[in-house]
Structure formats: structure tokens, C-alpha cells
Amino acid sequence: MKRNRNVGGVVIGGPSNDLVSAVERFVYRRPIDEGEKVEFEFIDLKKIALESVNISENTALHKVLDDIAYTNFYIYSYDDLDWIGEYSDFVGYVVGMFGHMQLAVPREFYRKTDEGIIDARNKYRDYFIGGLRVLVGSAFSHLWHRKQFLFDFNARLAEEISPLLKSEFPSLAKDGQLPRATYFPVWVDNLLIHRERGLCHYCGGPAALVSLPNQTYDIDHMVPIASGGTNDATNLVLSCPECNNKKRANYQVVPDTFAWPTRS
């Protein structure tokens, strides 16, 4: 499946909202049933975390969303037709999904015979799978602004990195730690400045405002590298130098308005 960064994309609702809910259940370990629990266990989070040694537009969160979208929307609902009563049910699903994917519906899906519909399904498998990237991008665009969720997601990645030994995983800088990025691409700077509106993630003071000259800012890891954090773009925030120096290798979370309240 083609994967891409879609930070500035449009949140389109429908199945992308379902995808957001599913990845929340994954991160917070709250599967809705045994089937989803098994599905989540097949997501290779350790591999995804190790790949986050490098900064990529295809973030760790994109990869998890991709896995969930492929399973839920393609494997369970497009490839496996045990759920349908009539083939018209499948056509209704496909037409609706293509609409959310912003793709034209191939006319073959409007055939009257069951055989014709099955032929259309087989012919357009790759077309359907390719369209899932729109849903992944939409879900990511929503989650990109939920920094509490991003922190919790990266804490899950850190759980995978922290126990690893460099003798077994040569890509580590040392036991339980990935190498720290020494350079951040311009697109990372631009995305963080845009999301934070030029303000420090921690204190809310100016860090990179266009209207103020001669500012300096840092890019900080929410989950520190020393604690198993990764260089994934979802783990990065804009920080003023003062806050970054205070934080060092410690955790410091700033809850956002999208975070669910903690029940006592």
C-alpha cells in the first residue's frame, strides 16, 4: 500500500473517524473484543519503533493506521464477503468507501449479476487498497494536533525500545536507546512551527514567531531518547531553549483539549 504524510490534509469523517477510534483503542489497550485484540497483537510495533531511528514522512503512526485500515476495511470488508447477505450489500459498502476515498466508482460495480460484481471486486482490489491512504491521511491529520495522544503513542513505542540490547539490535546507540537525530529536515521544522503557531509547546511563550526577529528555538523529543523515545516526527515538539534546558531527559506532558479525562 502506498503510504504518505498527510499532516495538512482534510479530515473527512466516516471511516477515517472509525480509524481514529481504532488506533485509540490500540494505544490505550482497549480492544472491543477478542477479534480486535488478536488483530492488535499482529501489529509489529517493535519493528515500527526500530524503523523510527530515521525521520520519515511515513511516520510510525502512519504505519499503525495503515495496518488497521488494511485489516478492517480491506481484509474484513472487501476481501472477505462472509458478512454480506446480498451482493448489493457489498456494492453499497464499496460505493460508500470510494466516496470517502474521493475516488470515482468504477462502473463495473453497478453490474446486475453476482458474477459481474465479483469480477469487479477482483479487478479493482489494488484501486481500493490505494484509496485507503486517503483515510489514513485524514485520520493522521486529526491525530497530529492531539499531542497528548501523540505522547501516549510514543510511550508505547518507547516500551518496545527500552528492553532491547544493542548486541541483538545493532541500530541502537546503546542498550534501550536509539541514536539521537543530529539533523531535522526543513519540512519537520515547518510542520512543527505551523502546528504550534510558533509557540513553545511547554510554556506557550514565543519560540518561532514570524513577527519577532532573532528568535532561537529547539526541537524536542516528548518521550526522551534516553527513555526509549524515537526520532519519529510524532514525538517532536517546538520548544524554547529555556524549557528544553529545564526538561533535559525528563518527561513533561502538556495535556491538550482533545484528551479524554482520567477517571478516578
Report pTM.
0.87
Nearest to 56 by CA among 220, 191, 196: 191
Confidence (pLDDT) at 2: 33
Q: Which residues share a beta bridge with 238?
A: 219
Residues of the chain above pLDDT 90, percent: 72
What is the mean predicted confidence (pLDDT) over 239-258? 67
Name the more confident of 151 and 3: 151
Task: Give the number of C-alpha atoms closer than 13 A to the C-alpha of residue 215, restricted to the C-beta side.
Answer: 18
Model confidence at 248, pLDDT cuts 50, 70, 90, reads low
Report the alpha-carbon distance of residue 180 to residue 38 in Å, rounded: 33
Alpha helices in the chain (DSSP H): 15-27, 34-41, 45-51, 60-69, 87-100, 114-123, 125-143, 147-161, 186-196, 241-247
pLDDT at residue 260, as a whole number: 44
What are 30-63's pLDDT values in tens digits? 999 999 999 999 999 999 999 999 999 999 999 9
pLDDT of 1 > 60? The answer is no
What are 96-119's pLDDT values in tens digits?
A: 999 999 999 999 999 989 999 999
Q: Is the pLDDT of residue 93 over 80?
A: yes
Rounded CA-CA distance 154/162 in Å is 12
DSSP 78: I
Nearest to residue 232, comparing CAs of 157, 182, 141, 171? 157
Q: Domain locations in the chain?
A: 15-143, 147-247
The answer to whether residues 208 and 195 touch, using CB atoms and an 8 Å cutoff, is no
Convert the pLDDT of each residue in 160-182 to its tens digit: 999 999 999 999 999 999 999 98
Residues 147-247, CATH architecture: Orthogonal Bundle (1.10)
Could you tell me which residues are beta bridge partners of residue 206?
199
Coil/strand/helix, residue 22: helix
Are 31 and 68 within 8 A, CB to CB?
Answer: no
What is the average pLDDT value for the chain, to the nearest integer? Answer: 88
